[in-house]
Amino acid sequence: MQRSKSEALFAEAQKYIPGGVNSPVRSFKSVGGTPPFIARGQGARVWDVDGNEYLDYLGSWGPLVLGHSHPAVVEVLKKTAEGGTSFGAPVEQEVELAKIICGALPSVESVRLVSSGTEACMSAIRLARAFTNRDKIIKFAGCYHGHADGLLVKAGSGALTHGIPTSAGVPESYASETLVAEYNDIGSVERFFEANPNAIAAIIIEPVAGNMGVVPPANGFLEAIQKITKDNGALLIFDEVITGFRVGPNGAQGLYSITPDITTMGKIIGGGLPVGAYGGRKDVMEMVAPLGAMYQAGTLSGNPLAVNAGIATLKELQKPGIFEELETLAVQLTDGLTKAFQAVEIPSTINRVGSMFTGFFNAGPVAGLAHAQGSDTEMYGRYFHAMQEQGVYIAPSQFEAGFVSTAHTEADIDATIEKASKALSTLR
């Protein structure tokens, strides 16, 4: 695959931008090679600046559930931009998006819009500490909740991929307030509550882990987490930045019938533009300024351009049968990939929830971080590049999720399985 323009751009980018990228996961550092600079996307496809075409399963790391340049999103963006992009004052669309979110997630009685998943999670932690007047939080090794200081402790996603799960620059005094438990291991959570009575403000969890690769919650795990928070006066924060409007119309909390106290969102609710959100119980949200003493703010929070892209996306997702369609395509894909891996006798296991999935180079099961880290990441890197050569764009890391969009067709899925078979055959 010819990539001379991307190579030249990457060299130029590295003169001005750390690592040549504005987010580490895009750098291909863990898989090697030059990241293609994307020129445009349309539906289920993207094209790089050298004209190479890819079937896209990255979906911008989750937001593009409708695929690229969906007409409803493009149309509303054009119209909105003509009237102005941000006013730093309330606009009616903020109310509309808030109503859609509260309508879809019954646990969310009130919601504050921000501009990223990081902001949403950082604010949710501050809110839980303000509400409980406690300092410690529990997160899970391998889960990623954005790059706020206290959450960059044994984090997943790019932090895990690049071998810096606990970031430099986070003061020990601060990191020590973050207790790190093991996903799907309720005993590791119980031990923290026993050792820190009346000191833990909240548990924050990805209800379906996406940042160690996709790892579903074990049966009863989320129920046990919910019970332990209630029994100990702590809050339960569901980080639904990925799962929100991805694994079903009511997120993971609807799928697993768990009611968190606070939910964080991002990605899909912005339809590809910068939107994050945190929301939950009214009595908790009444702590948020200007109502209460917990301060959080943002110049571009709720700006009409981003909010309208989110509204257009969520309205499309309200169409009957759309989540069933997504799931059917994802099942067709992962079933086909399972057969393709078996045909070349490469140890693998595929975890999938709804239309998010990860193919681990690991005989499985992959039910937690230690299992995920047992994957053959070197082979994953070779598979990644073989798929790029086949014109299929998957995540440049074993520890990420892949996504199907409503723009993918059965023919695309069949073609992908064919291409994966060819890619896998080069690995033997």
Interface with ligand KE4 includes 260 (CB under 6 A)?
Answer: no
The one among 61, 357, 384, 403 contacting ligand KE4 by CB under 6 A: 61
Half-sphere exposure of 220 (CA within 13 A, CB side): 3
Q: Give CA separation, 139 vs 185, 214, 234, 350, in Å.
A: 12, 17, 13, 25
Total of chain residues touching ligand KE4, rule CB under 6 A: 21
Interface with ligand KE4 includes 161 (CB under 6 A)?
Answer: no
Interface with ligand KE4 includes 101 (CB under 6 A)?
Answer: no
Subset of residues 130 to 159 that bind ligand KE4, contact rule: CB under 6 A:
144-146, 157-158
In sign, the C-alpha dihedral spanning 230, 196, 215, 386 is positive
Return phi, psi of residue 312, to 5°.
Answer: -60, -40
Interface with ligand KE4 includes 406 (CB under 6 A)?
Answer: no
Interface with ligand KE4 includes 304 (CB under 6 A)?
Answer: no
Active site residues: 144, 239, 267
Interface with ligand KE4 includes 121 (CB under 6 A)?
Answer: yes
**What is the token pair recorded at 397?**
């890391």
Interacting span for ligand KE4 (CB under 6 A) from 37-45, 175-183, 206-214, 286-294: 206-214
DSSP letter assigned to residue 168:
T
The one among 20, 35, 117, 368 contacting ligand KE4 by CB under 6 A: 117
Interface with ligand KE4 includes 116 (CB under 6 A)?
Answer: yes
The one among 10, 400, 407, 413 contacting ligand KE4 by CB under 6 A: 400
CA distance 68 to 228: 41
Max Cα distance, the chain (Å): 61
Subset of residues 332 to 391 that bind ligand KE4, contact rule: CB under 6 A:
none
For ligand KE4, which is the closer residue by CB, 117 or 251?
Answer: 117
Return phi, psi of residue 272, to 5°.
Answer: 105, -5
The one among 180, 241, 305, 356 contacting ligand KE4 by CB under 6 A: 241
Interface with ligand KE4 includes 208 (CB under 6 A)?
Answer: no
Subset of residues 8 to 27 that bind ligand KE4, contact rule: CB under 6 A:
23, 25
**What is the token pair recorded at 136?**
């410690």
Closest by CA position to 122, among listed 145, 96, 101: 145
Min separation Cβ 133 and ligand KE4, Å: 25
Please give the single-letter amino acid code of residue 4. Answer: S
For ligand KE4, which is the closer residue by CB, 266 or 354?
Answer: 266
CA distance 150 to 50: 41
Interface with ligand KE4 includes 57 (CB under 6 A)?
Answer: no
Q: Please write down the HEC assignment for all residues of 237-282.
A: EEECCCCCCCCCCCHHHHHCCCCCCEEEECHHHHCCCCCEEEEECH
The one among 27, 30, 161, 211 contacting ligand KE4 by CB under 6 A: 211
Which residues have C-beta within 8 Å of that of residue 378, sequence separation ≥ 6?
A: none
| Residue ranges in contact with ligand KE4 by CB under 6 A | 23, 25, 61, 116-118, 121, 144-146, 157-158, 206, 210-211, 239, 241-242, 266, 276, 400
